[in-house]
Structure 1
Amino acid sequence: MTTERERRCVLYARLSVTKEESVSIARQLQSCRRYAEARGWEVMGEFIDDGVSATVIRPEDRKGWAALLATADFDAVIIWKVDRLARRVLDFLHADEALQKRGAGLVAVEDPIDMTSPQGRAFAVMLSVFGEMEAEAIRARVKAARVQLLKDGRWAGGGVPYGYLSAANPDGPGWVLVLDPARQPWLAEIVAKVLDGATVNAITTWLTAAGAPLPLGSLARRKSGGTAWNRQTVDGILRNPVLAGMTPHNPGRAKSAKRADPFAVFCDEDGVPVVNNGLAVISTQDFAALQDLLASRSTPQARRRSERVPTSPFLSRVVRCDDCDVFLCRGTNQRRPVLYCPICRQTLSRTAFDPYLVDRLLSERGAEPLGGSTVAAHWAVAGASDGARREILLTQVESLRVRRGVVGRRFDEARVMLRWRPGCRESP
């Protein structure tokens, strides 16, 4: 039986945002090393998940934790505190179950627990309950603070809508929205053209040709100085209720719902939308008519055939949105192939994703047996046939999901959650 002095361990650290030195990844690992040294344990490895939210991302979907579980020969996992592993009780229990299956326990340096014993495991579950309660309390305070800002007529933060600027509140602390004189004429013309029957695609082309100033956020992200507009940007501008002087507000909206309900706005005690006429470009009635027009043209089939770009069926009904649990659809963004969620509208560039997936398939599964040969051999025979390549991929994939990423970030492998099928596959 393994003795206290002979125990082998691995270290795990996680941080959502690198901002507090006291709980930094380096500090967490330093405390874990000292704990292991004090108990005479041999450290077999160190694993981290930096920039990963425990509220949003489950332990089993994190790269660092998955790599930890793939390591052999350890008896304990040392973490700094319980909330470094999970902030939801269910996530904590699943992580603990995965460790129990391999005969390992969890130890927290700052929390007085040692899950290598039954008593420690019971106490750890209690701590995880308090951790979840703390996360919910923080969420409630943030919501309450936002509501108060809206009641005071202040800007609650986030992306500043096109045609507006955030300025210091002249009547007190905080910020307020004001009109952007450089972009307001363009905004008024965009709205007028749509109400007059112009399509979003036509307006996008017109804005690019006319050299209209881009949204401030887009301009800041584009180091190349490009001036091309895209359809998604124009569509988002036209769906923002600030056009009618209303403030978007939907505290019950799921994180996965990237596209907000344009009629989910801040209301008074009687449920009547609060309207700031000084910011309004159109009336609330015209805004409702505008949304009806956009809804009638929201599907790709509503576009002219000449505007549609064919896309590869290689990933048709293969990839699911992790937030909405629906298959991602094929489409294009500025004539580049993408996958997008029909519900939350998250997108993923196929220019980077397809080669990444093929590389993983051939490197990780190429030698697997398939139909009397191997996956790599069948792939070579399939050649450029997307249909045949898709059938080969389906024989290997058990689950392929994509979570939402940071807007503007280039392809991020951490968004991809891929699980291969165990055992032998049949011929495609």
Structure 2
Amino acid sequence: MSVAGIYSRKSLFTGKGESVKNQIDACQEYAAMKGWDSLVYFDEGFSGQNQNRPGFQQLLQDIDQGKIQHVIFYKLDRISRRMLDILEFIEKMNSKGIDFISITENFDTTTPLGRAMVHIAATFAQLEREMLQQRVRDNMIQLAKTGRWLGGIAPTGYTSKEMRFRDHQGKEKRKYILEGIPEELAVIEKIYTHYLKKKSLSQVEKYLLAQGFQTKNGGAFQKQTIRSILMNPVYVKADPRIFDYFRVLQSDIASPIEAFDGIHGLLTYNKNRKSGIKGTEPCDPEHWIVTVGDHNGIIDASDWIAVQKQISKNSKPGVPWKKSSHALLSGLLRCKYCGGPMIIRYGQKDKKNGHRFYYYVCQQKDLTGGAGCSNRNIRGDLLDQTVLETLVSLAPQPSQVKKILEKVESKFLNSKRNIISSNEDLNKQIHRNRKRIQQLLSKLERNIPDAAAKHIGERIEELDHHISELEKKMEHRKIVEQHPSMDLSPAILKGIRENVASIGHVVNSMESVEEKRRFVEGTVERILYHEGAVEIHLKKNAAVQ
């Protein structure tokens, strides 16, 4: 059964708003209506500005451990008062496929309105985030102009080393510089030498694979990695020719020409910028900050410039790459033996009908002529059909769908009846208490002793408080009953039944490879192949399981 994490928070010192108990009661009623078990997390006496709250941190820990499938809260600001914190929480929930629901604000990611609310929250939070990023960026740019290494993963061939020094006031300071790793720099020199000789990234990639050279992480050098190494100014022995090279590109050169001594390498900053919420894109060279570093370069300036010209020449626009018009599993199929992607290769034409079969081949095996991987090739049309048939077979059968929806409908109708019955009971209790208050007020109108009058007054206050609590419960149940996700009309049930039960028919009626590819990509996370065995890893929220 699904488990909902119910979170509630109240600042003890404000004395305002709904109590923690009332918040939790409302959320528990919602979870019960949905048929979910629930775990309660609460913080009292903690400000919404403080993320280090015990209950909230325990909720995050249980989410990471897979104990929670839904998160329910009374209002969005219970999570945090800061929009940036709310956005980060939302992104975390989205990445784990967890629904989060605000029962007082119609904030439910299972509904279109709820998803729209997510985007509104993201818009406001982005403003705060960008302002902070701009301040950080401005500070980093000023530090970059000093030539120090600002952190991050050091480029291949170097490691970062702490260096202590005294400033002009005699105070001890520290900074980080790059220090060479001889064995890695030897590989870098071979990459430059071989590229100048062959003028091809693919040829360099094959050479490195054949020689058994590996990256820092122990993997094979891919073309994109090789290209990044060849274009990185960190390796060049910066002399006046390099100064002129970047001056022509209109880069921001932070070091004077006298620092370009033909010994030290360069450091470049601001080469990428944010694009969208998560991605990055390269900046034009005119936005780069170029400075001479404290490390030594290894590539002569003339060779480095020649490499840049060759890469630019090879990068001229050609025919746009397109996915295979036949292969279904491009981008999803990987070799289980070595972990690399499997690519398309075509066989010889059939002499009788001119047809050419296509095969999935391990890229590592293809590049090394079989030396880098021994995984067997497989005919593409056969594997594509096998994967499609397997996915269709995993879809629920009509009889299964019918039983599941009957249980859902029964539980839903019982929940509705329980709400109605419970509200009737609450109304009766409220009516009885009001009637009792009227009786007690009638007694007060008589001439009774002061002690008795005091006792009656206290009893009236108790009954009035009880009425307030009952009315709050009724209001909470009304909120739950009216929530959009509680709408399970016959039309909705019919739509679910038809959509799920017809997956097999829909797939079989698809005519184009593109249609089938969209279905597979929407269902499958990745596919692993090794020696005739296929593993299909489905996405978490796939329609087939």
The TM tier, using the shorter chain, reads 0.3 to 0.5
Question: TM-score, structure 1 length as denominator?
Answer: 0.48
Write 1 or 2 for the structure with the bigger share of helix: 2
Give the greater-gyration-radius structure (CA): 2
Q: Which has the higher contact order (CA 8 A, sep 6+)?
A: 2
